[in-house]
Amino acid sequence: MTELLPQVALLTVAALAASTLAAVAGFGGAAILLPVLVALFGPRDAIPILTIAQLVGNGSRVVINRDAVDRRIVGWFALGGIPAALIGGFLLAAAPLDALTRLIGAFLLASVAWRHIRPRPAGALGPRTFTVVGAFFAFASALVGSIGPLMAPFFLAAGLVKSAYIGTEAAATVVMHVAKLVAYGTAALLTAATVGIGLLMAPAMIVGSLIGKRIVDRLPERVFVVIIEVVLVVAGLVFLVGG
Digit-coded pLDDT (tens) for 201-216: 888 888 887 887 777 6
**pLDDT per residue as tens digits for the range 10-31:** 888 888 887 787 777 666 677 7
Report DSSP state, residue 217: T
Q: Is residue 5 one of the residues assigned to a domain? A: no
- The domain of 155 spans 16-242
pLDDT digits (tens, 9 = 90+) for 91-107: 876 766 666 667 767 77
The more confidently predicted of residues 57 and 27 is 57
Q: Is residue 121 part of a domain?
A: yes
Q: List, for residues 213-233, the tens digit of each pLDDT value.
A: 777 666 565 665 565 567 667
Quote the pLDDT of residue 75: 93
Q: How many domains does the chain have?
A: 1
What is the maximum alpha-carbon separation in the chain?
56
Instruction: Give the type of residue at 116.
Output: H
**Contact yes or no for 156/26 (Cβ under 8 A):** no
Q: Are 173 and 80 within 8 A, CB to CB? A: no
pLDDT value at position 111?
Answer: 67
Question: Is the model's pLDDT at 157 over the cut of 80?
Answer: no
pLDDT band at 80 (very low <50, low <70, confident <90, very high): very high
Q: What is the pLDDT of residues 110-136, one digit of tens each?
A: 767 766 776 555 456 788 889 998 898
Q: What was the pLDDT predicted at 5? A: 73
Q: How much of the chain exceeds pLDDT 90, in percent?
A: 10
- 141 lies in a domain? yes
Let me know if residue 8 belongs to a domain: no
Say what the pLDDT of residue 171 is.
Answer: 92
- Whether 175 is covered by a domain: the verdict is yes
At 239 the pLDDT is 67
Q: Looking at the domain assignment, is residue 6 inside a domain?
A: no
Task: Please indicate whether residue 221 or residue 193 has the higher confidence score (pLDDT).
Answer: 193
Angle subtended by helix axes 221-242 and 5-25, to nearest 10: 130
- Predicted local distance difference test score (pLDDT) of residue 71: 92
Q: Provide the pLDDT confidence category of residue 1 given band limits of 50, 70 and 90.
A: very low
What's the pLDDT at 8? 79
For residue 20, being part of any structural domain is answered with yes
Report the distance separating Cα 224 and Cα 25, nearest Å: 7
Decide: 108 and 150 in contact? Cβ < 8 Å: no
pLDDT at 46 over 70: yes
Residue at 27 is within a domain: yes
- What's the pLDDT at 74? 93
User: How far is 65 from 86, CA to CA, in rounded Å?
Assistant: 27
